[in-house]
Amino acid sequence: MNQLHVPQGEFSLHRYPVRAKETLRAWDAADELILQHLADVITQDNSLQNILILNDGCGALATALAPSNPVIMSDSFISHQAIHQNLRSNHSDDFQISVIDCLKSPAEYLPKPEAPLDLVILKITKSLAQLEDQLHRLRPLITEHTQILAGGMVKAIHTSTLELFGKIIGPTHTSLAKKKARLIHSQPDLTLTPGINPFPKSLPLPDHHLDIINHASVFSRDKLDIGTRFFLDNMPSGDLPCSIIDLGCGNGLLGIAAAKANPNAKLTLVDESFMAVASAEKNFASNHTERQADFHVTDCLAGISDNSADIILNNPPFHQQNTIGDFIAIQMFKDAKRVLKTGGELLVIGNRHLGYHVPLKRLFGNCTTQASNKKFVILRCIKR
């Protein structure tokens, strides 16, 4: 289950965090297809020194290609941890591999910082906006000699995906599908004028007297989603000093609203997306010029002190990259119980059909409905 067999070797790979009886692999067919294609390319072309890998979910590409010292870019803290974990467990050699977030410029981390990229390997994610942002960021770092190779599952590759490559990079074609995955080959055309990167985007919210910016990977970056709107309309308020955490903060809207409704509260905003936390930090500063807040990129509430929060606000995601399930929400609930003070409360919003009340009541011993409408419910749990 955990053994990846590719031309570069055999590797033991695990998702992060490691869970007992894990049923999901740490790679997909697109990873295998990319590595099979690259088996001869990298070996035969010794000039490929500056290699950049984007969106490596759990480190399959980084681990297999470690001897080439690639730079790895990912917006996910969890992916960063998985990549480091799998590199350590599979390689005793000290390869010079940098794992950076997507807001950094890879140029300073490359083996030859002054030279352009020789090879770009890009995993296609579900987010077309993220792809557009990444291609714009790549554009200044490539030449007509740069090899651009992308791979993804067929369900994630659409006409719009190929159009973005054609518009920003150059002529593009795809391979035949294999195991429901395919490759994208794009030839850089430096005569193209793709325009400016549209990200980060501004999102004015006049009804809430807020002006928000969103980086490309942020959830609901083009409009205020109805679940968040409902949570904003039911935000707890008070004048007493307290500690409030916005868990899975996204662009920080809930934390910003909580700061407004609780003028003496200390705010902490947490997410596993580097772009989300960067957006939240910028938005909090621009909408609360007189307030300070703490910002953390981490897995759920890892690194946050036990028994330290009075209120935790949570709009949990129901997917991690392409994997759908409630495992992230459950981990968030467990971490929230650990971090809450005795008597502290967790407020969770979710679609009614997700049934979060069941695991919450099992974990906290209590769960009441704070507010509800036809689609959403806000649940309240108190740590006894």
Q: What is the mean pLDDT of residues 224-228?
A: 91
Could you tell me if residue 223 is inside a domain? yes
* Helices (H), ranges, the chain: 29-44, 60-64, 77-90, 128-138, 159-168, 226-232, 253-261, 274-287, 327-339, 357-364
What CA–CA distance (Å, rounded) separates 290 from 308? 23
Could you tell me if residue 19 is inside a domain? yes
> Same domain, yes or no, for 180 and 309?
no
- Residue 43: pLDDT band (50, 70, 90) is confident
> Same domain, yes or no, for 167 and 308?
no
Q: What is the mean pLDDT of residues 305-322?
A: 85
> Same domain, yes or no, for 180 and 214?
no
For residue 300, give the nearest of 342, 329, 267, 257 by alpha carbon: 329
For residue 184, give the nearest of 28, 30, 60, 65 by alpha carbon: 30
Q: What is the pLDDT of residues 323-338, one digit of tens each?
A: 555 889 999 999 999 9
Q: What is the pLDDT of residues 236-256, one digit of tens each?
A: 999 999 999 999 999 999 999
Answer left, alpha or beta for residue 69, where phi above 0 means left and psi between -120 and 50 means alpha.
left
What CA–CA distance (Å, rounded) separates 360 from 366? 7
For residue 331, give its domain range: 201-382
Q: In the prediction, which pLDDT does 317 show?
A: 87
Q: In the prediction, which pLDDT does 308 show?
A: 98
> Same domain, yes or no, for 342 and 372?
yes
* Helices (H), ranges, 14-155: 29-44, 60-64, 77-90, 128-138
Q: In the prediction, which pLDDT does 57 show?
A: 96
215 within 8 A of 199, measured Cβ to Cβ: yes
Q: What is the pLDDT of residues 75-97, one digit of tens each?
A: 999 999 999 999 999 997 778 79
Q: What is the mean pLDDT of residues 31-40?
A: 95
Last residue within a domain, chosen from 160, 186, 212: 186
What CA–CA distance (Å, rounded) separates 238 from 370? 16
For residue 149, give the nearest of 38, 29, 8 by alpha carbon: 38
Q: What is the mean pLDDT of residues 6-32?
A: 93
> Same domain, yes or no, for 147 and 250?
no
What CA–CA distance (Å, rounded) separates 260 from 267? 11
Last residue within a domain, chosen from 121, 153, 186: 186
Could you tell me if residue 106 is inside a domain? yes
Give percent of the chain above pLDDT 70: 98
- Residue 1: pLDDT band (50, 70, 90) is low
> Same domain, yes or no, for 136 and 109?
yes
| CB neighbour burial string for 132-163, b if at least 16 within 10 angstroms, e if fewer | bbbbbbbeebbeeebbbbbbbbbebbeeebbe
Could you tell me if residue 370 is inside a domain? yes
> Same domain, yes or no, for 165 and 79?
yes
CATH number at residue 339: 3.40.50.150
> Same domain, yes or no, for 177 and 304?
no
Could you tell me if residue 193 is inside a domain? no
Bridge-based pairing state of the strands 340-351 and 309-314: parallel
> Same domain, yes or no, for 153 and 211?
no
What CA–CA distance (Å, rounded) separates 68 from 88? 16
Could you tell me if residue 164 is inside a domain? yes
Q: What is the pLDDT of residues 252-286, one digit of tens each?
A: 999 999 999 999 999 999 999 999 999 999 999 99
Q: In the prediction, which pLDDT does 117 show?
A: 97
What CA–CA distance (Å, rounded) separates 6 from 187? 26
Could you tell me if residue 279 is inside a domain? yes
> Same domain, yes or no, for 220 and 293?
yes
pTM here is: 0.95
> Same domain, yes or no, for 66 and 161?
yes
Q: In the prediction, which pLDDT does 218 show?
A: 94
Give percent of the chain above pLDDT 90: 86
Q: Which of 43-47, 116-120, 204-208 has the lowest mean pLDDT?
A: 43-47
Last residue within a domain, chosen from 186, 217, 249: 186
Q: In the prediction, which pLDDT does 123 show?
A: 98
Q: In the prediction, which pLDDT does 8 show?
A: 96
Task: Report how many domains make up the chain.
Answer: 2
> Same domain, yes or no, for 122 and 241?
no
Q: What is the pLDDT of residues 205-221, one digit of tens each?
A: 998 888 899 999 998 87
- Average predicted confidence (pLDDT) for the chain: 94
